[in-house]
A and B are shown apart, each in its own frame.
Chain A
Amino acid sequence: MTEAQALIRAVEQADSAPRLVAAVRDLAAAEVEAGISTLIAVLGYNNPTAAAAAVQGLIQIGSPAVQPLIEKLDDYNYGARAYAIRALAAIADPRALDILLASAATDFAPSVRRAAAKGLGNLRWSELSTQQQTAAQAKALETLAFIVQDADWSIRYAAVVGLQGLATTSELTPQIQGKFAQILETEKDAAVRSRVQLAQSQLFSTTF
């Protein structure tokens, strides 16, 4: 049995919550591609500590985990889905664009939508061709501009964070600056307003 197999087996055979968490941490720390599907399975175990460790492991593995994360996205468990989207958002591989767009716009679970909204601002656009980049960034802006009008404050907050990220990583900064000004005209929620002001100050160095 290889070391990776032993680590995977320890996760599968853990018979208590503390053992599971310890085994997942060990497997995550090993950063082996063979462990990807086991780490993804842990996202659905309804153990937040183990899931957080698995997300961390998947993020460190990076790009090789992207395709499996997309393929195994759990349509029936929104808790697991939120962890997977958080991992995809942090890995920031632009292959996740479509799944992030769909999750941000139409998932029923706010935790999934928030994670996707944040992720849409931070993808590594440079891995796309110039032509693809323009289209992908326009799509991200369109979706974020749409959900920044959501009825749920936490979705609007996450959309502002996503827009700030997009303003930093793309050349859409002027449009996003305009969008922020527009949001401040209508936004009633003090927390969301504060987040817009923070984004403006960090992006455009307006002074308080």
Chain B
Amino acid sequence: MQDSNWSEDSVAETQGLTVEQAIANLRSPDLSLRYYAAWWLGKFRVNTPSAVAALIVALEDEDDRTELGGYPLRRNAARALGKLGDTQAVPGLIRCLACEDYYVREAAAQSLGMLDAPTAIPALMELLIGGVEVAMPVPGRPHLTQPYDSVIEALGALQAKQAVSLIQPFLEHPQAKVQYAATRAMYQLTQEDRYGQRLMQALEGDDLQLRRTALSDLGAIGYFPAREAIARCAAENSFKLLALKGLLEHQAKQHETPTQDAIQVMNLMDFLL
């Protein structure tokens, strides 16, 4: 899941900015430079202590605001911190779950899931309170009251077994992507095959976007029985490769050298190149 860490080799591709400059730019009077720098530090996985510290400060930024009251810099800082793998960011990201900007909450939930931060579980669970009944679209905005799919996915990734009864009702949420997130988390939390099967069936749905979502979910849970269905799915090879990579990594985590199952997955991947 995690790309290679920051190394000297990456310097060549960063074109233009240096690490020092990007960190300094997070405090630039030019707000667009701050925004870009936060994205850049995440993109190139600059996980030096000073970069992480500066991004944590940016989670509290008050200068960069959108017309609707959003916090663009906070969003980018929260997204970047998830990629840098430094758990010092966890308390700041937990505070972001209470931010008035939906997209900051969404980015924070995603990053907390990536950072393997069990201390975030209670705050994440709080966002599910009220259940499916309050999980409604916000009038005039393209999103629900909370970033339910990201919150539920994070709880699944964090192995929050105490959240099972809170997540289960979302299997029936009217939006497919929320249903998928709940299905994926339920599989991670219970290991019950029916949830994996349900995602596998979703690979045959009519909507390409949802097939891509199901591919990514199956990759995230490493559901091996779906291997052939993934390879066959009507979607771009890049999405299928990424899903199969998830299956392969799941195998690699448990075994030092490739198993027969892993070899089957690689044969399917080779065919998609």
Contacts and interface: CB of A to CB of B under 8 A. Distances in A.
Interface of A: 48-49, 110-111, 114-115, 117-118, 149, 151, 153-154, 157-158, 161, 188-191, 193-195, 197-198, 201, 208
Interface in B1-32: 2-5, 9-10, 13
28 contacts: A49-B234, A110-B238, A111-B237, A111-B238, A114-B237, A115-B273, A118-B270, A118-B273, A149-B9, A151-B3, A154-B238, A154-B241, A157-B273, A161-B273, A188-B2, A188-B3, A188-B5, A189-B3, A190-B248, A190-B249, A190-B252, A191-B248, A191-B252, A194-B251, A194-B252, A197-B258, A208-B257, A208-B258
Interface string B245-261: 10011011100011000
B133 interface: no
A153 B3 contact: yes
Contacts of A198: 258, 262-263, 266
B257 to A, nearest CB: 4
Contacts of A201: 257-258
Interface in B214-273: 234, 236-238, 241-242, 245, 248-249, 251-253, 257-258, 262-263, 266, 269-270, 273
- Most chain-A CB neighbours within 10 Å: which of B13, B249, B270? B270
A108 B1 CA distance: 23
B234 A191 contact: no
- Most chain-A CB neighbours within 10 Å: which of B10, B253, B262? B262
A188 B3 CA distance: 7
- Most chain-A CB neighbours within 10 Å: which of B3, B13, B266? B266
Contacts of B266: 194-195, 198
A158 B253 CA distance: 21
Nearest to A186: B4
Contacts of A153: 3, 245
A161 B257 CA distance: 17
Interface residues of B, number: 27
Contacts of B242: 154
B258 A191 contact: no
A49 B234 CA distance: 9
Contacts of A111: 236-238
The DSSP consensus for interface residues of chain B is helix
Nearest to B272: A114
Contacts of B13: 151
B269 A157 contact: yes
B212 to A, nearest CB: 14
Nearest to B241: A154
Given A194-B248, A208-B257, A189 B4 contact: yes
B252 A193 contact: yes
Given A117-B273, A208-B257, A191 B245 contact: yes
A190 B246 CA distance: 10
Contacts of A114: 237, 273
A49 B9 CA distance: 40
A111 B272 CA distance: 9
A190 B270 contact: no
A157 B269 CA distance: 9
Interface string B152-187: 000000000000000000000000000000000000
B238 A194 contact: no
Nearest to B252: A190
Contacts of B270: 118, 161
B11 to A, nearest CB: 12
A190 B258 contact: no
A115 B238 CA distance: 12
B249 A191 contact: yes
Contacts of B273: 114-115, 117-118, 157-158, 161
- Most chain-B CB neighbours within 10 Å: which of A110, A117, A118, A154? A154
Given A161-B273, A190-B248, A194-B251, 15 more contacts: A48-B234, A111-B237, A118-B270, A149-B9, A151-B3, A151-B10, A188-B3, A190-B252, A191-B252, A193-B252, A194-B262, A195-B266, A198-B258, A201-B257, A208-B257
